Amino acid sequence: MIFIFQIILSSFLLAQNQRSIVWVSNSESDIKEILNFKKEKKDNFNFTLVSDVFKDTGTDIELADYLNIEYPFFIVFYPSQSGIEKIKNYPSSPIVFKHFIKYFFEGNKFRGNGFFSRYPQIDKDNYYVFKDLGYKWVYGGISSASTSGYSDMDGLKTVYLEVLRSTYDFYSSSGSFFIIDDVKNGSSSVNILKEIFSNNNFNFLSVSSAVYVICQSTSVLTDNKYIFKCERQQNYISYLSLITSQFDNACDIDSDFIQSYLPLFDYYHNLCDDETDFSDDIRRITRQLYEKCQKDLPSFVYYDFLNNSYVRKYQKIVSSSSLSFISNSDELIKEFSIAKDNEKYRFSIEFSTDDIKGLEVHIYVDINKRRNAGSDSIINHNEKIDSLYSWEYSFVSNLKNVVFYKSGYRDYLRVGVYKVKLEKNILSFDLKQELLPGNIFKWNYIIVVYGGSNKLDGIFEMSENKFLAPID
């Protein structure tokens, strides 16, 4: 019994002295010096190296793949994790993200056990991409009071590292995972590393080995909130997130597409130079990407998206049998949808409040996106619709019934009046499919709501000439 206790105690004490250091360096001379020092010490220590210049896979040190991108690219694909209020409800883009990472993985012939990026945002929505590529661990960020050690997501370890700038940082810490980043700091830590690795009281392991030996873990993920240097950078990340989400389910994403997509990120670091306007160049690249996807260019591309924050209020979802607009924030209309129901179409509007008395709801339908091909009038009101989206059909409801209109050569015509169903905060009505021939789910829709104060609300954009346009 005493012998077993001694073994357990010995194992515990050994585990207490395990340490793992990630060293980020692009100095070939520094790396060679530490490797020679390792040989002098008869390989009695190990560590993990992150480097763009060192590619010698014949050494016995662990290498981590280095995605050396100096911008917060994760936010573009997973905006809900960004901490940015304006885009927290934007949809994620997991398909584009997967091809984005694979593009670098295959192009750079990555082969390390770990994945390192300066702007980590690894979570339950994207960890599988790294696991499928064969990584054992990914860098999760700098450790803090709530995040230290590592977390485990179905076998993939997310490791949080404590910053080392001196030997004092090492000896005064009770942590087990550390990072020395000479690339970021523009320094050389050879002397610090030699002194630390010379201490025989510690057992130095690679990260891959340490996560299976050190019993220190956390299940709390960090926010990794990014601080932008100027507002134009945040506005641009919002813009990139929005167009990327539109590509996610509408394009055949391959390496050629990613190669055409990547130049959009090149503008990020120069955006704080107010004297240079990159908008036209960004629009040109965006237009080419939409052409590759065979999609129409959305109206927000023409806005001043660098200097003014564009907020996407609704997410548009289209299938072969339905269309819906779902609110990304606290809008009056929570959801608008059209769905096939036997021989009818079911129109439905769900409001975010039960207090909808006195509202007047307008639905305008543009079937062909041809300028001046229909009416640009808002029925019984002074607002106008952008002539590119002139409507062929419209529906106006006072919550008791709905009036169906068709545009004519000079004016619009009243076709009929139909019953509506109102249940608390949901308004709905049915229409025979024969009254709306064509693919109704590919048309453009503008939903306008007037209240007692004549306030304008609904699902639409305001074009630069202050006319109403559909949300793309």
Cβ–Cβ contacts within 10 Å for residue 465, how many? 9
Percentage of the chain beyond pLDDT 70 is: 91
Could you tell me which of 102, 116, 109 has the C-alpha nearest to residue 66?
A: 116
Cα distance between residue 135 and residue 111, in whole Å: 9
Q: What is the pLDDT of residue 370?
A: 84
Task: Answer yes or no: are the C-beta atoms of 459 and 336 closer than 8 Å.
Answer: yes
DSSP code of residue 254: -
Task: Answer yes or no: are the C-beta atoms of 21 and 193 closer than 8 Å.
Answer: yes
Rg over alpha carbons for the chain, rounded to the nearest Å, is 29
What predicted TM-score, i.e. pTM, was given to this entire model? 0.72
Cβ within 8 Å of residue 421, ≥6 positions away = 427, 428, 429
Task: Answer yes or no: are the C-beta atoms of 253 and 261 closer than 8 Å.
Answer: no
Could you tell me which of 410, 371, 408, 412 has the C-alpha nearest to residue 395?
A: 412
Could you tell me which of 155, 127, 122, 124 has the C-alpha nearest to residue 141?
A: 122
Query: What does each C-alpha distance from 96 to 112, 126, 268 come to in angstroms?
Result: 23, 11, 19
Measured in degrees and rounded to the nearest 5, phi and psi for residue 423 equal -120, 105
Q: What is the pLDDT of residue 421?
A: 95
Cβ–Cβ contacts within 10 Å for residue 40, how many? 10
CA quadruple 312, 317, 323, 327: dihedral sign: negative
H or E segment and range at residue 446: strand 444-450
Give me the residues paired with residue 64 across strands.
50, 114
196: amino acid identity, one letter: I
Q: What is the pLDDT of residue 13?
A: 38
Cα distance between residue 25 and residue 54, in whole Å: 9
What's the CATH number of domain 1-213, 3.30.43, 3.20.20, 3.30.70, 3.60.70? 3.20.20
Residue with tokens 């000896």: 171
Could you tell me which of 254, 240, 239, 236 has the C-alpha nearest to residue 100?
A: 254
Q: Strands 360-366 and 421-423: what pairing? A: unpaired
Question: Residues 413-467: pLDDT tens digits?
Answer: 999 999 999 998 999 999 999 999 999 999 999 999 998 655 678 999 877 667 8
Q: What is the pLDDT of residue 369?
A: 84
Could you tell me which of 379, 376, 374 has the C-alpha nearest to residue 396?
A: 379
Q: At what angle do helices 94-107 and 231-248 cross, to 10 degrees?
A: 100
Cα distance between residue 162 and residue 75, in whole Å: 23
DSSP code of residue 249: T
Task: Answer yes or no: are the C-beta atoms of 104 and 135 closer than 8 Å.
Answer: no
Q: With 0-12 CB in 10 A as exposed, 13-18 as middle and 19+ as buried, what is 77? A: buried
Could you tell me which of 427, 420, 465, 242 has the C-alpha nearest to residue 332?
A: 427
Per-domain residue ranges for the chain? Answer: 1-213, 231-302, 314-462
Cα distance between residue 386 and residue 461, in whole Å: 10
Cα distance between residue 468 and residue 234, in whole Å: 26
Give residue 105's region: left, alpha or beta (phi > 0; psi -120 to 50).
alpha
Cα distance between residue 122 and residue 28, in whole Å: 30
Cβ within 8 Å of residue 243, ≥6 positions away = 286, 289, 298, 301
Strand order in the sheet with 393-397: 412-419, 401-407, 393-397, 360-366, 444-450, 456-459
Low-confidence ranges of the chain (pLDDT < 70): 1-16, 57-58, 145-146, 215-225, 452-455, 464-465
Cα distance between residue 34 and residue 445, in whole Å: 64
Cα distance between residue 160 and residue 148, in whole Å: 5
Domain 314-462 part of CATH 2.60.40.1190: yes
Strand order in the sheet with 333-341: 314-318, 322-327, 333-341, 344-351, 426-432, 421-423
Following DSSP, what letter does each residue of 343-396 receive, concatenated? Answer: TEEEEEEEES-S--TT-EEEEEEESS--TTSSB-BPTTSS-BB-GGG-BSEEEE
The CA-CA-CA angle for residues 461, 462, 468, to 5°, reads 85
Q: What is the pLDDT of residue 6?
A: 40
Residue with tokens 């190990």: 46
